[in-house]
Amino acid sequence: MTNKVLHVLYNDDDVLMDAVKKTRAAHHHIEEIYTPFPVHGLDKAMGLEPTRIAITSFLYGLVGLSVAVTMVRYMMIIDWPQDIGGKPSFSFIQNMPAFVPVMFEMTVFFAAHLMVITFYMRSKLWPFKKAENPDVRTTDDHFLMEVAAHGDVDQMVSFFENTGAVEVKVIEKH
């Protein structure tokens, strides 16, 4: 079964924001929006749920901190204790101020690297992946809103032309 979608092109981000609000008010389903740069507030205008990426970043930081504490304790206290600067080598707690930079750096390292991996997996951006951009102009200076077509397509086309669209195309999506 094939579905029809409308590719609605805009050449200004403010016009796009107004069009998204009008489109949502008219109860049309926005499939996706392609922009050449991030548009502040577009996610809220589209009605997208807030991201949980900050929570995952915090959890990845906790994993990094746990690995750092375990690593430093094993290396400096259990495996090969050394007397460095007269500090006692038998107590993790007494040596903790010396270990704080290592723990901080490992926390940041794990959070950053695991967030990048999570972003690529969530976005399905694999190495050598072919671009899914429907119109090459959206990488330069145009904004494309992909809207599911339902009901009277001609009425939808005129609706989007009235929102300030530069171009409206009806596409058969397989």
3-state secondary structure of 21: helix
Token pair for 41: 């507030």
Work out the percent of the chain whose per-residue pLDDT is above 90: 62
List CB contacts of 137: < 8 A, sequence separation 6 or more: 9, 144
pLDDT at 93: 81
Q: Do the domain assignments include residue 44?
A: no
The answer to whether 174 and 4 are in contact (CB under 8 A) is no
For 101, list phi and psi in degrees, rounded to 5.
Answer: -60, -40
Confidence of residue 1 (pLDDT cuts 50, 70, 90): very low
Q: Do the domain assignments include residue 45?
A: no
pLDDT at 25: 94
pLDDT tens per residue across span 34-92: 999 999 999 999 999 988 889 999 999 999 999 999 999 999 888 887 777 776 667 78
CATH of the domain at 150: 3.30.70.260
pLDDT at 88: 66
C-alpha–C-alpha distance, residues 124 and 50, integer Å: 19
Instruction: Give me the half-sphere count of Cα atoms (radius 13 Å) on the Cβ side of residue 82.
Output: 7
Domain count, the chain: 2
C-alpha–C-alpha distance, residues 150 and 27, integer Å: 11
Q: Do the domain assignments include residue 132?
A: no
DSSP assignment letter at 77: I
Q: Are 58 and 101 contained in the same domain? A: yes
Q: Do the domain assignments include residue 93?
A: yes
Confidence of residue 158 (pLDDT cuts 50, 70, 90): very high
Q: Do the domain assignments include residue 24?
A: yes
Q: Which domain holds residue 91?
A: 53-123
